[in-house]
Amino acid sequence: MTPRRAFEIFLTAPPGLELALKDEAHAAGFAKPKATPGGVRFRGHWPDIWRANLSLRGAGRVLARVARFQAMHLDQLEARTREVDWAGLLRPDVPVTVEATTRKSKIYHQGAAAERVDRAIHEVTGAPLEGDDPVRVQLRIENNQCLLSLDTSGEPLHRRGQKPFVGKAPVRETLASLFLRQCGYTGTEPVLDPMCGSGTFLLEAAEIALGRAPGRDRSFAFERFATFDASAWQDLKRSQTDTRTALHFHGSDRDAGAVTGARSNADTAGLSDRVMISHHAFSDLQRPDGPPGLVMVNPPYGTRIGERKQLFGLYGALGKTLAERLAGWRVGLVTTDASLANATGLPFTDPGPPVAHGGLRVQLFQTGALT
């Protein structure tokens, strides 16, 4: 891997949402992205790494693939690791940590594998093995094939730095963005969430409409790499400018604390003039002025014993309210159970693939325009 040669870049995604992330990467102009289990890969250079972290809403992390090779034993792993140009990638003053996984390989001890890679990197670069906020190197060994990657993101990318309040059972920002994309949302229509919680769907939708870079208010691990160009990075950030939109985004919740928190989140993100949050139950929902758009809702799932049965009535009432008051609007509903979705009585098409979320598996159910 050299600075001038293109290398593989991997965007992580929740299994089931790889195609949605591929569509986003393609729309953002990254070259020939390909969906693969667990994410999306394409070839690029370090400025592509910076731009992916800054601008992609659906990626969980951005990994730089720095080396692939075969290793049958620990000595071979360490020797091949030393061949990587770590001095050209990492700074000697930034601590490094190695995370290893092994599967179906002669090297089966993950701790020993991580220790050998750690030692090789330290002896090449002089980087400390311990310290605060280390750069992460990922080692994956499968069928004796080794893959070394640099985590260029640091903190997971759903941590945008713009959402101080987190409600109950929140949807991650990256997940919300990909569900919006699956619903065909492009920022040209309003979005309404009648159970908005902390307001994640509304904030993501408003930012998409404004063309804002999700990573604008946070830092990234790549800023501490030897490959980092601070001047080019500032130029890239300055090139990200808001577009204009006349759209408004409407949310409501029966929980007063959630409403206060969602309003605080909208204010922190600079969206209080676009995102309107009301305190009332969905049964008091009123049709917003203006054109129809997308209803995006993540109702309770009822994971505890006895709750699920009670939720059928809630889902039924929600579906009736939406059908009666929001003709012309489309609906995207996220839940764990097809029978709960069907209890709404809404004309859902085939659901999306199951997606891991908070220890559960959720699916996106969609309708066309309600009549």
7-151 CATH choice from 3.40.50.720, 3.40.50.1980, 3.30.2130.30, 3.30.450.20: 3.30.2130.30
Flag whether pLDDT at 259 surpasses 70. yes
pLDDT tens for residues 126-151? Answer: 999 888 899 999 999 999 999 999 99
CB-based contact 198:258 (threshold 8 Å): yes
Tokens linked to 184: 């065909």
Closest CA relative to residue 286, chosen from 316, 255, 329, 247 = 329
Flag whether pLDDT at 304 surpasses 70. no
Mean pLDDT of 190-196: 98
pTM for the whole structure: 0.95
> What CATH topology corresponds to 173-214+249-366?
Rossmann fold (3.40.50)
Return the DSSP state at 252.
E
Domain borders along the chain are 7-151, 173-214+249-366
Tokens linked to 173: 């920002």
Q: Under 8 Å CB-to-CB from 229, ≥6 apart: which residues?
A: 46
* pLDDT of the residue at 232: 98
Distance spanning both ends of the chain, measured CA to CA: 56
Q: Give the Å distances, CA to CA, from 133 to 26, 97, 154, 321.
A: 32, 9, 9, 49
